[in-house]
Homo-oligomer: A and B are copies of this chain.
Amino acid sequence: MIQEKLKEYFSVVFEEDLIQEIIEVGTYKKVKENELLLDLGDKFDKIPLMLNGAIKISREDDNGDEIVLYFLERGDTCTITFGSGLTSSKSKVRGVAEKDSEVVFIPIHKLEEWLVKYKSWRNFVIDSYNIRLSEMLEAIDTLAFMKMDQRLYKYLTDKVKIMRDSTLNTTHQKIAQDLNTSRVVVSRLLKQLENEGKIKLHRNKIEVLEF
C-alpha cells in the first residue's frame, strides 16, 4: 500500500534503491482533516514526506497570534523541521491538515547518510530548501507590500488551488485567524470582494468566482 504510493509518486524523483530504503525505514501516517501533524518548538527527529493531501503551515507567537506561511502538497517535505533544534525562538511552526493526508516520516539521521549515497536525494533536499525559501519570501512580500484586501484575496485564491475546489468551506472567523486580523475586518473586506464580483458569500461557504 505505502510501497505502491511511494513508487507511484516518487519513482520519477528518486532512484529505485532509495525508494526501497524509504519503504524500509519510513513510518507511514494518515492524518485527518484539521488534525495537528507537527508542532515545532517540539524537538523533531523525523522529517515528513507528503504522499497526498494538504498541510497548512503556520507560525504562532507567544500571544497565540497566528499567521499562515504556506501549504504543503504531494511530494513536499517540511525542511523547517530539519533545523528545529537550532531555533531557540519562542515562536512555533505548526502544521495542520487541511484535508485528509498521507505522510511518510523519515528518521532525521538518514538525511545525511542519503546525501552522500544518492544524487536524487541531494537534489531533493536542496530543491526542497529552495522551494521553502522562496515560499517564505512570498509570505514576506505579502506581509510587507500588500494591504489586507489583497492579502485576503490571495489567501482565498491560494486555498482554492490547494483544495482543488472553488468553493471553500470556512468561516470569517477562521480566515481572520489565518491572516492575524479580526473577524469584523474580514467580513467587511469579503463583502467588498463580493460587491466587486470576485466572490459569492454563503453561510460557512465562500465561492471564488475568478482565480
Contacts and interface: CB of A to CB of B under 8 A. Distances in A.
A134 B89 contact: yes
Given A83-B133, A116-B116, A133-B80, A140 B141 contact: no
Contacts of A65: 144-145
Interface in A66-115: 67, 69, 79-80, 82-83, 86-87, 89, 91, 93, 111-112, 115
A140 B143 contact: yes
B140 A69 contact: yes
A134 B86 contact: yes
11 contacts: A65-B145, A79-B129, A79-B133, A86-B127, A115-B122, A116-B116, A132-B133, A133-B133, A136-B137, A143-B144, A145-B180
